[in-house]
Structure 1
Amino acid sequence: MTSQSSHKAMLWIVAAGFFMQTLDTTIVNTALPAMARSLNETPLDMKPVVVAYTLTMAMLTPASGWLADRFGTRRVYFAAILVFVLGSLFCAGAQSLDQLVIARVIQGIGGSMLLPIGRLAVLRSVSGEQYIAALAFVSVAGQVGPIFGPVLGGWIVQTVAWHWIFLINVPVGAIGLLAVLRYLPDNTVGRAPPFDFIGCGLLSLCMVAFSLALDTPHEASHAAWSGSLFALSLLSALLYIPHARRRREPLFRLALFREPNFSIGLAGNLVCRIGSGAVPFLMPLLMQLQLGYTPLHSGLMLLPAALAGVVAKRWIVPLVKRYGYDNFLLVNTVLVGGSIASFAAISPGWPLALSIAQLALFGATNSMQFAAMNSVTLKGLSVEDAGSGNSLFSMVQMLAIGLGVTIGGGLVSLFTAQLGVAGTAYRLAFFSVGTITLLSAVVFRRLDVGQLDKGRSVAGVASR
């Protein structure tokens, strides 16, 4: 096989892994009501099924580069696919919610390495002039997964059973394992730098404790437990600071946060993505439980948002060039938050065409928001800090998705308990998470516009 053919095969392997990772982030959303009925749980109690997967990926993403350096990209990528497939099998065979959550953690362990290791394999094997085109090819898989995930999940649940949304990963993964052994280069660096296990543990503890604190029931009897978890989360974050100062090669250098736009971008991303993370979880539940839609119908209703997001990506560069990052983010954040809040109006009898228009507006503005937020967060970093900053940024992205699910589902539970009417609870929850998204506009107003103008061209806008 020629070198060019080997490169194409490698790109297809990486793209397939990225597709599986993104597909399983969204495919379960339309299946949650059916899964809840099968496991004798309420649909809102299925939040950990989504959160466990995203939170596991957030915790383990920083270790992927070190593992590749230590054991070689081919071995680690093979192990990632194998663990992901095993996790999928365990998910399909789960007989209780606890078993399913544990299986999703296993799936997340494999999923956390698929994109970073795949991207690293491309970086080390493809020449500089072909690297951008190669990454663009791989990124298409990341866009296709969220587009077809809800629809495929709804169709599988409606025609077969929810277990098959995980079993479809098995044949794809089996082919991937064989392809990795044949086509993926090993690229072993040799001796890897020491990994900061303590730093990774502290930040992981911070994320897990914070997520559990938000997911604690709202009864007064649980207030002390929730407060203790918040305190543990804060303490672990504070302990990381002296640890990073003492360690020669910490997980994330504190110098990262001396770049003001990086810190502001991280905070803005976290706040803004809470609303964006809540919508894919809440919308299928609203449609199936309150509007009477079938799983497939609810999945198809999310298709306009995904397609509009793909189309809108081409608008971001000319819009930012014309109006600047600060003005663009201010207006677009209002549009994203407003579109999420507008979902509060969706109820039985609401015009279908208007619902589609609302979802398309959300998809378009949300896609542009991600691209702009990613760019302002990362573009000011030095070459030395770019890799570390991107890794931390990826952690925040995955954390925000989990927080969106936790907060969105928690608000529905809280409002239902207080009002006794689930339909009204969903409307108030959408309005609330939309308002949270709007608050990120205040964060983005603190961006250093002058520093942004000195950065790289907007043509380098990052992907999701």
Structure 2
Amino acid sequence: MIIGCALFMELIDATAVLTALPQMAREFDEPSVRMNLVVSLYLLAAALFVPVSGWAADRFGPRRVFVSAIVLFTAASIACACSGSLLQLSLARMAQGAAGAMMVPVGQVILLRWSARENLLRAMSYLTIPALIGPILGPPLGGLLVMLLSWQWIFLINVPIGILGVALVIRHIPDYPGKRGHPLDVPGLLLSGLGLAGLVFGFEALGHGFLPRSWALSLIALGITGAVLYAWHARRVAHPLIDLSLLRIPTFAISFWGGNLMRIGSASQPFLLVLLFQLCFGLNPLQAGLLSFVGGAGAFLMKLLAVRIVSRFGFRRTLIGNALLTGLTLTATGLFELSTPYWVVVVVLFISGIIRSLQFSTLGALTYADVPSQQSSDASSLSAMSIQLTMSLSVGIAAALLSLIMSARGHPTIAAADVALVMGLAGGLCALSALVYRRLSPAAGSEVYASRTR
């Protein structure tokens, strides 16, 4: 529960800031669609620094890294609140992302090392319960703060949470010692950073047109080259920064590829809903936040039921069926119109939150089902890095597609039909992930929930 508080601080910040993007755009005199940099750069920084988290936890001890990350995240939040331009805010958000990259993966390392294998699904589900309060409270809280005070308070609320988190960690989490092991893979860090930065910034530039198209495509090509060179490098060193040999474990590999495809499709939904509710429907931040509230409430409810559902149907059937339902509900959210009754919007978003929560709870447990305990740090780093990267790419790709669709249709401002088309494409990607999960055996990961069925 204490480890979950770190995720709570991250998610309440991430979800609350979405409702304030239009207000930030007006204050900074920037196009609304460009404000996704506030989200994308945060996720990019997290993806860049996540690979270092496993090495740092082993070298310096997980509690020391955990506390340092919370302190840095809190300080970066203050810097965000003091920002006077989009550039300053983006740089502060990158500092936040770097700190967040250390918080959650290191907390997972603590959990993976000292939790019994048969309790892993339950532990992974309960770990995120306090964190899910963030998405529930974030949107309405963000809207309320923007209307009554200012968007700066969305970041300032992290200060008391960070102070409380540090106090709880120091008091209740044991100080597991670090150990001198293999040195940091600096060439691997540089190559992985080149690949990640090239891909994210390439898609950003392609979507927003702030660089010539040839330059944007060159950045994407540079990112792909960096990723290929890292894969080549990782096979030739004893202790690579990101251990790609984990992909030889069948359950880890299927969870990795299927989860990445799912996140690329679904992680852009909050960003697109903010644009739809506020810019297309003219709702104020509080109204938009209250509508987004129900998705978090549905996710919270499913965390309490995930273990029973997976115990009843198994990982394979749960993931396949849920991938198809995720695609359908995501597409349905794009069909909202100004005349759609609020109760319909609430029901669809509530069901969507339930379905996506079940999918990611299930994936979270299956990912580590067959990973040896001595590789838990490497597995947590690789998984967390891919999560942050695909979430960043999801928002960047969605913004790029939206800009291209607006340009092709000659729309000077965002229209509901433009958002609906992007939502439909995202839903199709989520449904395609079901083909990946078909490769699982019917008994895959059964030892994770075996104690529930005996």
Q: Measure the CA separation in 1 of the matches of 2:168 and 2:440.
A: 46
Structure-to-structure mapping, 1:56-135, within 5 angstroms: 56-120=45-109
Q: Give the stretch that moved more between structures: 333-342 or 80-89.
A: 80-89
Highest relative contact order (Cα 8 Å, sep 6+), 1 or 2? Answer: 2
Residue 120 of structure 1, CA deviation: 4.8
Q: Give the stretch that moved more between structures: 254-263 or 268-277.
A: 254-263
Deviations 1:35-89 (A, max 9, x none): 1111111221011101111221122122223323433445433322221122111
**2:249 maps to which residue?**
259
**2:273 maps to which residue?**
283
Deviations 1:425-444 (A, max 9, x none): 11211112112222222222
Letter in 2 for 1:388: D
Question: Identity over aligned residues, as a percent?
Answer: 35
Q: Name the SS of the counterpart of 2:370 in structure 1.
A: coil
**1:271 maps to which residue?**
261
Is contact 1:73–1:185 with CA below 8 Å preserved after alignment?
Answer: no
Q: Identify if the C-alpha distance between structure 1 residues 353 and 114 changes in structure 2 by more than 3 Å, giving closer, same or farther.
A: same
1:166 equivalent in alignment to 2:155: yes
Q: Identify if the C-alpha distance between structure 1 residues 120 and 448 changes in structure 2 by more than 3 Å, giving closer, same or farther.
A: closer
Structure-to-structure mapping, 1:348-427, within 5 angstroms: 348-421=338-411, 422-423=414-415, 424-427=417-420
**2:427 maps to which residue?**
434
**1:209 maps to which residue?**
198
Q: Identify if the C-alpha distance between structure 1 residues 338 and 122 changes in structure 2 by more than 3 Å, giving closer, same or farther.
A: closer
Is contact 2:80–2:92 with CA below 8 Å preserved after alignment?
Answer: yes
Residue 135 of structure 1, CA deviation: 7.0
Q: Name the SS of the counterpart of 2:151 in structure 1.
A: coil
**1:187 maps to which residue?**
176
Equivalent position to 2:440, from 444, 448, 462: 448
Equivalent position to 1:29, from 13, 18, 30: 18
Is contact 1:84–1:110 with CA below 8 Å preserved after alignment?
Answer: yes
Letter in 1 for 2:319: L
Q: Measure the CA separation in 2 of the matches of 1:411 and 1:454.
A: 37
Q: Name the SS of the counterpart of 2:183 in structure 1.
A: coil
**1:341 maps to which residue?**
331
Deviations 1:357-384 (A, max 9, x none): 1111211111111123333433233344
Is contact 1:150–1:300 with CA below 8 Å preserved after alignment?
Answer: yes
Q: Identify if the C-alpha distance between structure 1 residues 460 and 87 changes in structure 2 by more than 3 Å, giving closer, same or farther.
A: farther
Q: Identify if the C-alpha distance between structure 1 residues 115 and 221 changes in structure 2 by more than 3 Å, giving closer, same or farther.
A: closer
Aligned residues: 447
Q: Measure the CA separation in 2 of the matches of 1:181 and 1:68.
A: 16
Residue 116 of structure 1, CA deviation: 3.1
Is contact 2:195–2:224 with CA below 8 Å preserved after alignment?
Answer: yes
Letter in 1 for 2:320: L
Q: Give the stretch that moved more between structures: 220-229 or 195-204.
A: 220-229
Structure-to-structure mapping, 1:291-310, within 5 angstroms: 291-310=281-300
Q: Measure the CA separation in 1 of the matches of 2:112 and 2:255.
A: 26
Q: Identify if the C-alpha distance between structure 1 residues 181 and 388 changes in structure 2 by more than 3 Å, giving closer, same or farther.
A: closer
Q: Identify if the C-alpha distance between structure 1 residues 80 and 298 changes in structure 2 by more than 3 Å, giving closer, same or farther.
A: same
Is contact 1:265–1:373 with CA below 8 Å preserved after alignment?
Answer: yes
Q: Give the stretch that moved more between structures: 70-79 or 157-166.
A: 70-79
1:457 equivalent in alignment to 2:445: no
Is contact 2:4–2:130 with CA below 8 Å preserved after alignment?
Answer: yes
TM-score of the superposition, structure 1-length normalised? 0.87
Residue 244 of structure 1, CA deviation: 1.9
Q: Give the stretch that moved more between structures: 329-338 or 419-428.
A: 419-428
Q: Measure the CA separation in 2 of the matches of 1:329 and 1:190.
A: 38
Deviations 1:437-462 (A, max 9, x none): 222222222x2315x4365234699x
Q: Name the SS of the counterpart of 1:283 in structure 2.
A: helix
